Amino acid sequence: MQIFLAGATGATGTELLPLARARGLTVRPHVRPQTAARHPLGKDPDAVVCDLGDAAALEAGVRGCGAIVSLVGTMRSRFGTGDTYESADVGSARQLVAAAVAAGVPRFLLLSSVGAGGAGAYLQMKGDCERIVREAPGLRWTVFQPSALVSAPDAAGHHGRRELLPGMMALGGLVRALPGLRGVADDWRAIPIAVLCEAILAVLERPRDGEVLLGRDLWALAGR
Ligand SMILES: NC(=O)c1ccc[n+]([C@@H]2O[C@H](COP(=O)([O-])OP(=O)(O)OC[C@H]3O[C@@H](n4cnc5c(N)ncnc54)[C@H](OP(=O)(O)O)[C@@H]3O)[C@@H](O)[C@H]2O)c1
């Protein structure tokens, strides 16, 4: 199967892309023009280099794919670079869904967040993204709602740029040990990006259409 990977140059995309290719998927990574010059994926032979606002280029880029996976997102600290929740998260959901519908891409996998639709600008915006995907005519969708994403420690025990504080890990472990709270704890405990990627690949291989997958589902799909 061919997949179009939006957000390929981000933290999750950087881990997902080589894993997907190793599984035999043909991946077209999306790269923004302003990122292409400084990122190795700018030279990837299968990369689709375009602005997501370029509807014709995007439609051509997704045509023939069996699924679009969107890992696109921004954060408040990056608003200064020009991206906002509306332009990056919500805008990309609209643009990618429109391209999927126009090009007949049957499936859409959206990386959202636990608590989407809840209080606060970030969670409200994630709820809007989910609604855009769920309401697209004829599109088969799956939404992923992980908690905080962390990088696994390397062989020397060093984490990547997203280390979880030891105190938070200990607290999560305690809550998880309480009777009846394991599922809830798994929904809210931080999740290594590698675990999330395994879950996404599992869903690409065995579709979970129309489902919103919580942390407990992601851990299970990854076989952890
Ligand atoms: N980090 C967490 O703890 C966490 C937890 C739950 C959910 N999430 C969600 O998971 C998703 C992925 O997170 P991440 O940490 O992998 O993200 P990340 O490292 O910040 O990467 C974001 C990706 O989105 C792309 N992007 C941003 N604005 C764009 C735009 N306007 N048009 C096209 N592409 C754009 C970036 O491209 P450039 O490289 O060109 O900037 C990059 O590839 C996000 O939606 C995030 O909200 C994150």
Domain, as residue range, for 96: 2-146+192-221
Contact 123 CB / ligand 1 (< 6 Å) = no
Query: Which residue's CA is minimally distant from atom 9 of ligand 1?
Result: 112
In the DSSP assignment, the letter for residue 104 is T
Q: Which atom of ligand 1 is nearest to the CA of 8?
A: 43
Four-residue CA torsion sign, 218, 105, 24, 149: negative
Contact 87 CB / ligand 1 (< 6 Å) = yes
With a cut of 60, say whether residue 156 has pLDDT above it. no
Residue 154: inside a domain:
no
Query: Which has the higher per-residue pLDDT, 80 or 137?
Result: 137
Contact 88 CB / ligand 1 (< 6 Å) = yes
Question: What is the mean pLDDT of the segment spanning 55-66?
Answer: 98
Q: Which atom of ligand 1 is nearest to the CA of 35?
A: 40
- How many domains does the chain divide into? 1
Contact 84 CB / ligand 1 (< 6 Å) = no
User: What is the CATH number for 130?
Assistant: 3.40.50.720
Four-residue CA torsion sign, 199, 203, 208, 211: positive
Q: Mutate which of 5, 9, 150 to test ligand 1's pocket (most atoms within 8 Å of Cβ)?
A: 9
- For the ranges 22-31, 42-51, 61-70, 172-181, the lowest mean pLDDT is seen at 172-181
Residue 41: inside a domain:
yes
Largest CA distance in the chain: 53
Residue 160: inside a domain:
no
Q: Mutate which of 72, 113, 213 to test ligand 1's pocket (most atoms within 8 Å of Cβ)?
A: 72
Residue 168: inside a domain:
no
Residue 82: inside a domain:
yes
- pTM of the predicted model as reported, rounded to 2 decimal places: 0.93
Contact 12 CB / ligand 1 (< 6 Å) = yes
- For the ranges 25-29, 96-100, 140-144, 220-224, the lowest mean pLDDT is seen at 220-224
Residue 169: inside a domain:
no
**Surface-to-core class of residue 84, CB atoms within 10 Å of its CB (0-12 exposed, 13-18 middle, 19+ buried):** middle
Residue 114: inside a domain:
yes
Alpha-carbon torsion, ordered 89, 94, 96, 99, to 10 deg: -170
Q: Report how far ligand 1's centroid is from the alpha carbon of 15 (Å).
A: 13
Residue 42: inside a domain:
yes
